[in-house]
Amino acid sequence: MSRYVIRGGNRLEGTIRVNGSKNAVLALLPACLLSEGTCVLHDVPKLSDVYWMLQVLKHLGADVDMRGSVVTVEGKGITQNEVPNSLACRIRASNLVLGPMIARCGWGKVAYPGGCSIGSRPMDEHLRGLKQLGASLTEKHGFIEGSAKQLTGNEIYLDFPSVGATENLMMAAVLAQGNTLIHNAAREPEVVELQNFLCAMGAKIKGAGTSGIAVEGVRSLGGAEHRVIPDRIEAGTFLTIAAATRSDVVVSNVILEHVEAVVAKLREFGTKLNIYENNEIRVRQTKRLRGVDCKTMPYPGFPTDMQAPFMTLMSLADGVGVMSETVFENRFKHVDELARMGANIRVEGRAAVVKGVKSLSGACVMASDLRAGAALVAAGLAAEGITEIDGVHYIDRGYEALDHRLREIGGDIVRI
Ligand code: UD1
């Protein structure tokens, strides 16, 4: 069990590079199961979630290799069709292998997935869509089992633009017979990334990035080589840390379009930002921020994954701000921990009223999930005194060597 020990108050200076996107990789890896060829992914971050997804693929019989940030997957030898509970409980995204397995092998079985505890995360949208593509599904003993001799294209309306459901259905539909239309699809950049990768493998898909995705089924897919997009949530986290600590930091390897909502909100807070054409954003913060309201929404709205880190900013701002969480129902577990550090936050249902304080003070706190952990790191770096954060394994799910990278720009943070 590791913990971070942070001595707050340092002004950070220098350049920090954003790694490849965790959520993109967690969809691209299951997509590799659709092909018997060789798939190569570049700029894959070393994260525990990625490690567990690779274990899932290995368990299913794929040949998997990770050297540095390059991952190679050969899907020829898929022999297993079942993801056991011991693997599925490690990551929520393990459910993304169901669509590809039914499409490629005609049968698949996954234990109900685990992941961060941020509210109930049902799979009804995934399952309804798979049924509409012709799969027979049974849910028993904590497993979901699906089969179909041949999936058939259909018109699917999602009740909510779920990222995972959109991805699962795209992957199932690429090998279905005929055409599929997914309406009210998620528009997240990771969905566009999946489309690009699948098309490089030989799929015929259009429309990702809009709410309507059209898939024309093909008989088989080949291998592909692909560079993963930068992680927009990691970029947003670094910008937030720089603003919270009133620092001078350049965040590099950012796709500007992917962080527009976050940048717009940071500007509303009064963050001084320069945007450069070479995919860099510089934060030069000297003054205290002002409190503003914020509401999480599916993309291109403000991302729910940035809600917790932004609560740290709101806690330090001058004035009152309201954070409304509309995507997940139980994503305010970081509030009690920020309160231990002196934050003034009142939760009312799915909204949190944050009254800014002049400074936070170091304390012993617990990361209850990945982004809550990032919020506490930002708070610890900005606070007076020493903060100890338990539950670092949550942070490892989504940030590679965070302590090391923050130390390189002057953060006083060590892992014990
Ligand atoms: C993905 C991201 C996660 C991000 C989330 C929302 C990955 C690996 N994870 O998670 O970081 O926070 O998108 O941007 O990409 N829902 C249903 N039924 C379903 C599916 C979802 O009701 O079948 C609900 C969920 O409970 C939640 C909302 O839809 O309230 C959003 O979930 P979804 O977009 O599916 O998130 P994930 O794909 O799990």
- Extents of the domains making up the chain: 3-18+230-415, 22-227
| Rounded Cα–Cα distance for residues 101 and 288 (Å) | 52
Ligand 1 nearest atom to the CA of residue 370, by list position: 11
Token pair, residue 217, equals 């089924």
Q: What is the pLDDT of residue 77?
A: 86
The four Cα atoms 354, 320, 292, 371 give a dihedral, to 10 degrees, of: -10
Confidence grade of residue 117 (pLDDT, cut at 50, 70, 90): low
Q: Does 22 sit in the ligand 1 pocket, CB within 6 Å?
A: no
Tokens 């006083």 label which residue?
Answer: 412
Confidence grade of residue 121 (pLDDT, cut at 50, 70, 90): low
Contacts 24+ apart (CB under 8 A), 261-266: 261/299, 261/300, 261/301, 261/302, 261/303, 262/232, 262/235, 262/236, 262/302, 262/303, 262/306, 263/239, 265/292, 265/294, 265/302, 265/310, 266/239, 266/240
One-letter amino acid at 92 equals R
Which tens digit of pLDDT belongs to each residue from 150-195? 999 999 999 999 999 999 999 999 999 999 999 999 999 999 999 9
3-state secondary structure at position 127: helix
| Rounded Cα–Cα distance for residues 83 and 94 (Å) | 8
Q: Is the pLDDT of residue 89 over 60?
A: yes
Q: Is the pLDDT of residue 409 over 90?
A: yes
Point out which residues pair with 389 in neighbouring strands. Answer: 4, 365
Q: Does 93 sit in the ligand 1 pocket, CB within 6 Å?
A: yes
| Phi/psi at 379 (5° precision) | -65, -45
| Cα-to-chain-centroid distance, residue 149 | 33
Q: Does 160 sit in the ligand 1 pocket, CB within 6 Å?
A: yes
Q: Is 199 a catalytic residue?
A: no
Question: Do the domains spanning 3-18+230-415 and 22-227 agree at the CATH topology level?
Answer: yes
Q: Give the pLDDT mean for 316-337.
A: 95
CA of 286 to the centre of ligand 1 (A): 36
Nearest CA to ligand 1 atom 26: 121
Q: Does 261 sit in the ligand 1 pocket, CB within 6 Å?
A: no
CA of 307 to the centre of ligand 1 (A): 14
Q: Give the pLDDT mean for 401-410.
A: 98
Ligand 1 nearest atom to the CA of residue 124, by list position: 23
| Rounded Cα–Cα distance for residues 331 and 314 (Å) | 16
Q: What is the pLDDT of residue 329?
A: 85
Q: Output the average pLDDT for the chain.
A: 95
Q: Does 242 sit in the ligand 1 pocket, CB within 6 Å?
A: no
Strand pairing report for 280-284 and 273-276: antiparallel
Q: Does 184 sit in the ligand 1 pocket, CB within 6 Å?
A: no
| pLDDT above 90 as % of the chain | 90
* CA dihedral (123, 129, 132, 135) positive or negative: negative
Report which of residues 81 and 269 the model is more confident about: 269
Q: Is the pLDDT of residue 120 over 80?
A: no
Nearest CA to ligand 1 atom 28: 327
Tokens 């929520």 label which residue?
Answer: 92
Q: Give the pLDDT mean for 51-72.
A: 96
Which tens digit of pLDDT belongs to each residue from 215-272? 999 999 999 999 999 999 999 999 999 999 999 999 999 999 999 999 999 999 999 9
For a pocket test of ligand 1, which of 47, 94, 117, 160 has the largest count of ligand atoms closer than 8 A to its C-beta? 160
Superfamily of domain 3-18+230-415: Enolpyruvate transferase domain (3.65.10.10)
CA of 27 to the centre of ligand 1 (A): 13
Q: Report which of 165, 225, 166, 170 is spatially closest to residue 201, judged by C-alpha positions.
A: 225
| Rounded Cα–Cα distance for residues 6 and 98 (Å) | 41
Q: Is the pLDDT of residue 119 over 60?
A: no
CA of 162 to the centre of ligand 1 (A): 5
Report which of residues 69 and 117 the model is more confident about: 69
Token pair, residue 231, equals 């992680």
Confidence grade of residue 122 (pLDDT, cut at 50, 70, 90): confident
Q: How many residues does this entry show for the chain?
A: 416
Fold of the domain built from segment(s) 22-227? UDP-n-acetylglucosamine1-carboxyvinyl-transferase; Chain (3.65.10)
